[in-house]
Every structure is written in structure tokens, then in C-alpha cells.
């Protein structure tokens, strides 16, 4: 291997943060594993890490199939043991120690392997986890270098560590920039100092420097670098206070220089170079999301009804609700995304084991107990705050008793089976009091008060099923089916329902007189939207001390979603969406719950927690909620946008949309013009202004699309966050994929200003 290639590999190892590491050595060497697809399909596959230190290669036995690769950045987690559905089903218990699975982000199928020994399985899992964690912790500068070197290596077709002019053209396509021939030639000539007709070594480095040059940052840096061409601590404080609107001290400036200045000589002089400045601007503390809002920063000691709660519908589905697969993996994904209310559609199964699937459809079935096991394991990995299991119960009494037994034995002390405290509560407990606990939402035979009474109370005659999803039936048919299927409720299951007893909603008046704080109603999307439009203030008051769950209409057989914003605007807490469906509504949901430690709980504004509130999101009369702000956004540039289409010749024509979601008066959208053929470093410098009247409820979404003159634009990436979590000044914005995962190197660069309207 030539010195340049070794140098490039050295950079990769250095950039993976694992130079000389035995785990890295193990992965680069690789080894043979048994890949498992079914009881009879278990085949040997050679797996190893490529020199770029971020791509795994596996040998395929198929004659016409090219050997497959996948990026470490696409891995969601590595699981040791028989933890996937496939391994549980297709391997024997004694193989436990030798098994491991690679779980991917998005819709990609996981890989199940059996190693030759327990030791080897452990080595694979530990090495992969270590490398993934190191890659995730790279700073943006390192990620850019890593990405560009990977593309340079791919472009070097004959692997001679030199780039010819045509290889340089290929390289530009790989980094998603369609460069004018004259410009490419000019760049090439400028770097080809030796006039050899190719670039190598130092020339490639110079080429890289020209590529990563960011004029917009040079201008900002130049304005404040007033100390012999560098930024002194005083200059940096001036930048932070004037541009970034931050209360900064000299101590803050010294800390930034100390932490981010890469040149030791410059650091010694207590100065910040342009490289250090770029490095700082890419740090989490300098991004568009207020770093103080990343952790739990809200009061978590109020009743559950005072919070918006991240909630999922048909949680068991991986795809649509007519024929898609049901999977415990879908629960894992939702819980890992911070979801705190999951749905279990329970039906009688064979061998007295209840199953979960979408009734009257072709979706596959999974065992109830397997779902409860998955919930037990993953409930509190992302958030410590309570999880609500919304039971859609279609089971016979006998199998309901089995359900109760499974929940009791698997969930153990995490399951809430009686009210907290020694006396009858008067309102819902708080997320803080319920940390690490699991609540059951479902029908109950009697009132909660009965658990404190000496005499057993008479049971309500309750129909067990709750969601009245019509599945396209007419109402008479549905009534007939409901009568026929009127099921009785098992006492063991009924007793597990404490704070979320499902009841039918009749009217706000009726609820005021008859509904207890622990009784929760579910609303079909259409009914809820009607109430939100016609009786918004009454709905807000109702939601002060009672929980509401909203679910998508049964007609959404493709598992599409509805806009959750109007329902949050009326204080509904459990606005359930199809987490398995990537769409704008899910982006907005992810943006709403991005803050407060991704805990899945966000405190409602004070005027939505007051039962005498006058707030109405539609009429917007005067009140505490009216805080008219002007939002100024300058869309400056984007970096390293991924291709939408993997065809070699395809290059994106990006445009940026800035959208505001909130009360009707605040909803708005503006977009830039498209930039032709440049996904690498497009620049817009376009200014937009928005009026925001109720900032507490507003969310801002930045979305990048590939402009198409003939058809609909294609989605490239987006980022959504609450308006009140925006930081001002020059900010980088990370971009997320359709599935809500971070796009490794892509981003937007903006200038943001929020002012009080006169």
C-alpha cells in the first residue's frame, strides 16, 4: 500500500478515534459467521470492516450478486444473544451466547448471526459498539474529513493513489456536486502543481482545502478576527454577544479556545483560528437547538394531564394496517424514539396464548407475552418517565386472565396495580412520581374508589373494546358486530387499570358532572378535530384535569397520519400517531418531543393548565398567550446534502422551506429558489420574516427538497424544533432523514433573529 493510501487510512483510524486499537484491528481482519434467515437457512458469511473504518463488507455466495456493504452509520444497535425475533424463532436456546444481531435504522431488515464461540460473539458486539460510539462522537470537522476521504478513495478507480481529471469528475458526483467542466479544470490545474496530469499526496490535500473553503464563514470570522488576523478572547465575546445574542464572559471565550482550537501554537497565545471557529460553530452548544433544552428542564411534578405525551397508534405494525407485518421490533423502535404511550391490539390466540395484530386484516400476529417482554426491556432506555399501555382488548375472559398473568409476572414491580398513597387520590400523579412505572389504560369493572371501600362495589356493565374503528363498515354493521362481540371483562385485568380507566365521551357538560379525573376518553381523529374547531376553549378546560387520547381514523388503511398540532392546541395529551409512517406529521411530533431530555413529556403552557382559562387558539383574544414575536430567518447555505437518487449521474437541485406550525394565525411557509446541480455547498442568502403570536405552541421546521420542474419535489432532509428552543445568530442546523435519523454530514447554515413586535 502506498504512503498516501496509508496516510489516508491513518486519517480514517485517527478519525474513528481508534488508532492502534485491538478492537479496530479485529474488525479490519474480520471473520466467518453463520447468517440466520430461517430454521433451515443458515449460511456462512465472511464479515469485515473496510479501510475507510466505517463500511462493513460481507461476502455473498450468490453468483450474480455483488458483495454487500453497509455503513456503520446505518446501525441502530448491536444486540448480544437471541434478542431478535428471527434468532428467538430459528435458533436453539443453547446457542444464546454465540448469537448476536445487527439492527438497522429505518426499514432495513436486521442481520442475525451465530459466531463460532461465545468469546467471538462478545468480541464482535463490543468492537462494533465501540467503533459506532466513536464515530457518533466525532466532531463535524472530523466527519467532513472522513466523508471526503471516503469519496476520494471511491473515486480512485485504479487504486494508484492518484486522481486523474476524469476521476476528479467522478469524485464531484460522489459528493453530490455537478461541477462545470471549466471550473473543474481550473480547480484541477490550480492543484496540479507538478503539471503531471494527475493529483497525488499534497496536491490532493490542497484540493481538499479548496473544497472545504466556506466563504460565508470567512466573512463572519474576518469581521471579528481583529487581533493579528485571529480572534482574541475579547473578539470572541464580542461575536457571541453581538451576533449570537448570548450572555458571554471572557471565561466562556477562554473555555471555547481551550476546547476547540486545533493549532497548539495558536491556543498557547489564547487565540482562535478560523479552523477553531468553524469547529466551534459545529458543536452541539452552538447549534440551532438551545442546549439548555436538551436535558429535562421542565417541572415534572405536575399531574399527568398537564403534559403533552408522545404517543403511538397500532404500535405493533412495521408498515400498513391491512397486510403489513406485526413485530415486537416496532415496539422497540417506538420506545427508543421516546414514545410513552403504546397500543396493544389483543385477540384470542391458539394454545391459550393471546396475540397482537390488527383484527379482521392480513397483518401477521405476535404473542402478547413477547410484546410485554420487549416493553419491559426497552421501556426506560430513552426516558425514565412512565409508559402507558393502551389495551385494545378483544379477548375472551380466559385469555384476558392470561394477559393479566403475563403482565404481572413479566413487568413485576414496574406495573402500577394500585393508587399511590394510602387514601383515594383527587388528581392524577405526576411523571416524577411515576418514574420507571408502567400504567395500563383499559376498561375497569368499577370505580377506583372501590379499592378503598370495605364493601365490594357493583360492577359497571362495560363493553371491553374501546376504539370504535369502523374499518370501512357502515354504522349498522358496526353496531351488530359490537353487540355480537360484547365481551365480559376479567377481574384480574380490570384491577390493573388504575389511573387510565377508559370511558365513553358524551359531552363536555356530562364529563364535568360525571367523569372522574382517572377516567380517560378516546376520540377518533375526525370527532376530535370537530371539537377542536367548534369548542376549543371547552376542550382545553376539559383537558386540564383529564386525559384525552386521539387516534387516526380507521379509513387510514395505509397508516397515514393526521396533523397533531390543532389537537395539542386544545390541550389533548395523548395524540397517537402511526410511528411506522415517515411523514411531515411525524417530523412535527419528533420536533415537539425533541426537548426536555427526549423524555416523551412536555409541559403545557400555564394558560392550558388552568380550568378557568379563556384561551382559545382560534379566536386569540387578549391574554398571557399573546406574545407577538417577529422571526427573521436568513437561509445562508447547506453542506453535503445526500443524493435523493443513487444513480451516478444524479445531482440534487436543493431548495429550503421554512415552515411555522402552531395556532392558525401562526401557520406559514416560505421557500428559497432552487440551486441547480449542487448538493455539496449550495448558497442562497435569502431572508424571510414570520409573525408568531403564540410562541409557546409554535414549532419551526426547516426542510430541504430536491426541486423538480415536472413533478413533486423530493424530500432530502428536515429538522423541526419548538419555537421557544431556537437559538439566535449564526447557527448550523443538523438534518434528519425521512425516518428521523441524523444524516451524518449534512446540514444547513442560517442566521436567526427573534424580536418583540412593536
36-51 pLDDT, tens digit per residue, is 999 899 999 999 998 7
DSSP per-residue codes, 284-335: GGGSSB-GGGTS--S---S-GGGEEEEEESSTTBSS-TTTPPB-HHHHHHHH
Q: 50: annotated binding-site residue?
A: yes
- pLDDT level of residue 66 (50, 70, 90 thresholds): low
**In contact, 323 and 362? CB cutoff 8 Å:** yes
pLDDT tens across 641-653, in order? 888 876 656 788 9
Total of domains in the chain: 5
> 466: Cβ–Cβ under 8 A, 6 or more apart, which residues?
392, 393, 442, 443, 502, 522
Q: 48: annotated binding-site residue?
A: yes
pLDDT tens across 231-275, in order? 999 999 999 999 999 999 999 999 999 998 888 899 999 999 998
pLDDT of residue 21: 85
Mean per-residue pLDDT, 746-755: 95
Q: How many CB atoms lie within 10 A of CB 80?
A: 18
Rounded Cα distance, 382 and 241, in Å: 35
- pLDDT level of residue 618 (50, 70, 90 thresholds): very high
Q: 52: annotated binding-site residue?
A: yes
pLDDT of residue 11: 46
Q: 39: annotated binding-site residue?
A: yes
**In contact, 379 and 385? CB cutoff 8 Å:** no
CATH number assigned to the domain comprising residue 573: 3.20.20.190
**In contact, 575 and 593? CB cutoff 8 Å:** no
pLDDT of residue 54: 79
Mean per-residue pLDDT, 114-119: 94
Rounded Cα distance, 737 and 721, in Å: 15
Shared-domain flag, residues 433 and 558: yes
In-domain check, residue 553:
yes
Q: Is pLDDT of 478 > 60?
A: no
pTM of the model: 0.84
Shared-domain flag, residues 130 and 148: no
Rounded Cα distance, 204 and 652, in Å: 25
Q: Is pLDDT of 459 > 50?
A: yes
Written in H, E and C, the secondary structure of 689-754 is EEEECCHHHCEEEEEEEECCCCCCCEEEEEEEEEHHHECCEEEEEEEECCCCCEEEEEEEEEEEEE
Least confident of 153-162, 582-591, 594-603: 153-162
| Domain span at 398 | 304-445+473-608
pLDDT of residue 463: 58
pLDDT of residue 625: 95
Rounded Cα distance, 479 and 475, in Å: 6
**In contact, 326 and 365? CB cutoff 8 Å:** yes
Give how far Cα 421 sits from Cα of 387, 452, 457, 640, Å: 20, 11, 21, 55
Q: Which residues pair with 718 in a beta bridge?
A: 703, 736
Rounded Cα distance, 51 and 46, in Å: 16
Q: 162: annotated binding-site residue?
A: no
pLDDT of residue 483: 53
Q: Is pLDDT of 184 > 60?
A: yes
pLDDT of residue 457: 55
Q: Which residues pair with 509 in a beta bridge?
A: none
Identify which has the larger pLDDT, 473 or 163: 163
Q: 269: annotated binding-site residue?
A: no
pLDDT tens across 374-409, in order? 999 999 999 999 999 999 999 999 999 999 999 999
Shared-domain flag, residues 145 and 240: no
Q: 488: annotated binding-site residue?
A: no
Shared-domain flag, residues 201 and 219: no
In-domain check, residue 297:
no
Shared-domain flag, residues 263 and 223: yes
**In contact, 729 and 723? CB cutoff 8 Å:** no
Least confident of 382-386, 420-424, 455-459: 455-459
pLDDT of residue 552: 92
pLDDT of residue 203: 82
In-domain check, residue 571:
yes
Mean per-residue pLDDT of the chain = 87
In-domain check, residue 531:
yes
Mean per-residue pLDDT, 469-492: 59
Shared-domain flag, residues 220 and 204: no
In-domain check, residue 23:
yes
Shared-domain flag, residues 595 and 650: no
Rounded Cα distance, 170 and 163, in Å: 10
Shared-domain flag, residues 144 and 132: no
CATH number assigned to the domain comprising residue 692: 2.60.40.150
Mean per-residue pLDDT, 539-551: 97
Rounded Cα distance, 662 and 127, in Å: 45
Identify which has the larger pLDDT, 744 or 5: 744
Q: 43: annotated binding-site residue?
A: yes
**In contact, 551 and 576? CB cutoff 8 Å:** yes
pLDDT of residue 169: 77
- pLDDT level of residue 174 (50, 70, 90 thresholds): confident
Among residues 136, 165, 181, the one where a domain terminates is: 136
Residue 298, burial from CB neighbour count under 10 angstroms (0-12, 13-18, 19+): middle
Shared-domain flag, residues 79 and 92: yes
Question: What's 655's DSSP letter?
Answer: E
Rounded Cα distance, 462 and 424, in Å: 23
**In contact, 281 and 261? CB cutoff 8 Å:** no
pLDDT of residue 18: 63
Secondary structure (3-state) at 553:
coil
Among residues 258, 286, 314, the one where a domain terminates is: 286
pLDDT of residue 453: 73
Q: 343: annotated binding-site residue?
A: yes
Shared-domain flag, residues 565 and 644: no
Shared-domain flag, residues 507 and 438: yes
- pLDDT level of residue 58 (50, 70, 90 thresholds): confident
Q: Which residues pair with 631 in a beta bridge?
A: 690, 754
In-domain check, residue 452:
no
Sheet bearing 668-671, strands edge to edge: 668-671, 654-661, 699-706, 714-722, 729-736, 742-756, 629-639, 683-692
pLDDT tens across 669-707, in order? 999 999 998 888 899 999 999 999 999 999 999 999 999
User: What percentage of the chain reaches a pLDDT higher than 90?
Assistant: 62
> 645: Cβ–Cβ under 8 A, 6 or more apart, which residues?
714
Q: 294: annotated binding-site residue?
A: no
Q: Is pLDDT of 345 > 70?
A: yes
CATH number assigned to the domain comprising residue 81: 2.30.29.30
Mean per-residue pLDDT, 185-197: 83
pLDDT of residue 136: 77
Least confident of 23-32, 478-487, 560-569: 478-487
Phi, psi of 2 (to 5 degrees): -70, 165
**In contact, 576 and 313? CB cutoff 8 Å:** yes
- pLDDT level of residue 167 (50, 70, 90 thresholds): confident
Q: 37: annotated binding-site residue?
A: yes
Rounded Cα distance, 417 and 499, in Å: 9
Q: 55: annotated binding-site residue?
A: yes
Q: 706: annotated binding-site residue?
A: yes
Parallel, antiparallel, or unpaired for β 683-692 and 629-639? antiparallel
pLDDT of residue 181: 65
- The angle, 0 to 180 degrees and rounded to 10, between the axes of the packed helices 165-174 and 140-155 is 130
Q: Which residues are catalytic?
A: 313, 358
Distance of CA 579 to the CA centre of its chain: 10
> 700: Cβ–Cβ under 8 A, 6 or more apart, which residues?
631, 658, 659, 660, 661, 720, 721, 722, 723, 726
In-domain check, residue 619:
no
**In contact, 391 and 440? CB cutoff 8 Å:** yes
CATH number assigned to the domain comprising residue 219: 1.10.238.10
Shared-domain flag, residues 333 and 433: yes
pLDDT of residue 51: 79
> 119: Cβ–Cβ under 8 A, 6 or more apart, which residues?
none
Mean per-residue pLDDT, 431-437: 97
Q: 341: annotated binding-site residue?
A: no
Identify which has the larger pLDDT, 427 or 137: 427
Mean per-residue pLDDT, 206-225: 86
In-domain check, residue 455:
no
pLDDT tens across 128-163, in order? 999 988 887 776 666 666 666 677 777 777 777 788
Closest CA to 489 of 404, 424, 405, 572: 404
Rounded Cα distance, 413 and 111, in Å: 34
Amino acid at each position: 500500500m502506498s504512503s498516501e493510501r496509508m496516510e489516508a487510512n491513518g486519517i480514517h483510524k485517527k478519525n474513528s478515534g481508534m488508532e492502534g486499537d485491538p478492537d479496530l484491528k479485529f474488525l479490519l481482519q474480520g471473520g466467518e459467521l453463520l447468517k440466520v434467515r430461517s430454521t433451515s437457512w443458515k449460511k456462512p458469511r465472511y464479515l469485515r470492516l473496510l479501510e475507510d473504518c466505517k463500511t462493513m463488507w460481507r461476502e455473498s455466495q450468490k453468483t450474480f450478486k455483488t458483495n454487500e456493504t453497509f455503513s456503520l452509520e446505518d446501525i441502530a444497535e448491536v444486540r448480544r444473544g437471541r434478542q431478535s425475533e428471527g434468532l428467538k424463532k430459528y435458533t436453539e436456546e443453547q446457542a444464546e451466547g454465540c448469537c448476536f444481531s445487527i439492527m438497522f435504522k429505518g426499514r432495513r431488515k436486521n442481520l442475525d448471526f451465530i459466531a463460532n464461540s461465545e468469546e467471538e460473539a462478545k468480541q464482535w458486539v463490543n468492537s462494533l459498539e465501540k467503533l459506532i460510539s466513536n464515530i457518533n462522537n466525532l466532531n463535524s470537522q472530523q466527519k467532513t474529513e472522513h466523508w471526503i476521504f471516503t469519496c476520494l478513495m471511491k473515486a480512485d478507480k485504479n487504486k494508484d493513489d492518484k486522481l486523474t481529471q476524469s476521476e476528479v469528475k467522478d469524485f464531484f458526483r460522489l459528493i453530490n456536486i455537478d461541477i462545470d467542466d471549466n471550473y473543474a479544470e481550473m480547480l484541477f490545474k490550480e492543484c496540479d502543481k507538478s503539471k503531471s496530469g494527475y493529483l497525488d499526496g499534497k496536491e490532493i490535500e490542497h484540493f481538499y482545502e479548496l473544497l472545504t473553503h466556506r466563504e460565508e464563514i470567512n466573512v463572519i470570522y474576518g469581521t471579528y478576527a481583529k487581533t493579528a488576523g485571529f480572534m482574541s478572547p475579547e473578539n470572541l465575546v464580542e461575536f457571541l454577544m453581538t451576533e449570537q445574542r448570548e450572555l458571554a464572559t471572557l471565561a466562556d471565550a477562554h473555555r471555547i479556545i481551550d476546547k476547540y482550537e486545533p493549532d497548539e501554537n495558536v491556543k498557547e497565545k489564547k487565540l482562535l483560528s478560523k479552523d477553531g471557529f468553524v469547529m466551534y460553530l459545529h458543536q452541539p452548544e452552538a447549534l440551532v437547538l438551545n442546549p439548555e433544552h436538551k436535558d429535562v428542564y421542565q417541572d415534572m411534578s405536575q399531574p399527568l394531564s398537564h403534559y403533552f405525551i408522545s404517543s403511538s397508534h397500532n404500535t405493533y405494525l412495521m408498515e400498513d394496517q391491512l397486510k403489513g407485518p406485526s413485530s415486537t421490533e416496532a415496539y422497540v423502535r417506538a420506545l427508543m424514539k421516546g414514545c410513552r404511550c403504546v397500543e396493544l391490539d389483543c385477540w384470542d390466540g391458539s394454545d391459550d396464548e393471546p396475540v397482537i395484530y390488527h383484527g379482521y386484516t392480513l397483518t401477521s400476529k405476535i404473542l402478547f407475552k413477547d410484546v410485554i417482554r420487549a416493553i419491559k426491556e426497552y421501556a426506560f432506555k430513552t426516558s425514565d418517565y412512565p409508559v402507558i399501555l393502551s389495551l385494545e382488548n378483544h379477548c375472551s375472559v380466559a385469555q384476558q386472565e392470561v394477559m393479566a398473568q403475563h403482565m404481572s409476572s413479566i413487568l413485576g414491580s414496574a406495573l402500577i396495580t394500585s393508587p399511590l398513597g394510602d387514601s383515594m387520590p383527587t388528581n392524577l400523579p405526576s411523571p416524577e412520581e411515576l418514574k420507571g412505572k408502567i400504567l395500563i389504560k383499559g376498561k375497569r369493572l368499577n370505580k377506583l374508589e372501590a379499592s378503598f371501600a370495605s364493601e365490594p362495589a357493583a360492577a359497571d356493565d362495560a363493553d371491553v373494546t374501546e376504539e370504535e374503528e369502523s374499518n370501512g363498515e357502515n354504522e349498522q354493521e358496526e353496531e351488530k358486530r359490537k353487540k355480537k362481540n360484547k365481551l365480559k371483562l376479567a377481574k384480574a385485568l380490570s384491577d390493573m387499570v388504575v389511573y387510565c380507566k377508559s370511558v365513553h365521551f358524551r359531552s363536555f357538560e356530562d364529563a364535568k358532572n360525571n367523569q372522574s379525573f382517572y377516567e380517560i376518553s378516546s376520540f377518533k381523529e375526525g370527532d376530535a378535530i370537530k371539537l377542536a374547531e367548534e369548542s376549543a376553549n371547552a376542550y382545553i378546560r376539559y383537558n386540564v384535569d383529564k386525559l384525552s387520547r386521539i387516534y387516526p381514523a380507521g379509513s387510514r388503511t395505509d397508516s397515514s397520519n393526521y396533523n397533531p398540532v390543532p389537537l395539542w392546541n386544545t390541550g389533548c395529551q395523548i395524540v397517537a400517531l402511526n410511528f411506522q409512517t415517515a411523514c411531515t406529521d411525524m417530523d412535527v411530533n419528533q420536533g415537539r418531543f425533541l426537548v426536555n431530555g427526549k423524555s416523551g413529556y412536555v409541559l403545557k403552557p400555564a394558560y392550558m393548565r388552568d380550568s378557568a382559562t379563556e384561551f382559545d387558539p382560534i379566536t386569540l383574544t387578549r391574554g398571557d398567550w399573546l406574545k407577538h414575536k417577529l422571526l427573521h430567518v436568513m437561509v445562508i447555505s447547506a453542506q453535503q446534502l445526500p443524493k435523493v437518487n443513487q444513480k451516478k449521474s444524479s445531482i440534487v437541485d436543493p431548495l429550503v422551506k421554512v415552515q411555522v406550525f402552531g395556532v392558525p394565525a401562526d401557520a406559514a411557509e416560505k421557500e428559497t429558489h432552487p440551486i441547480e446541480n449542487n448538493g455539496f455547498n449550495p448558497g442562497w442568502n435569502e431572508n424571510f420574516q414570520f409573525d408568531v403570536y403564540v410562541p409557546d405552541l409554535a414549532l419551526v421546521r426547516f426542510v430541504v427538497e430536491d426541486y423538480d420542474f415536472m413533478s413533486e419535489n423530493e424530500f432530502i432532509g428536515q429538522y423541526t424544533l419548538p419555537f421557544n428552543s431556537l437559538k439566535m445568530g449564526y447557527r448550523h442546523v443538523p438534518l434528519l432523514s425521512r425516518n428521523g435519523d441524523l444524516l451524518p454530514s449534512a446540514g444547513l447554515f442560517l442566521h436567526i433573529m427573534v424580536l418583540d413586535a412593536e
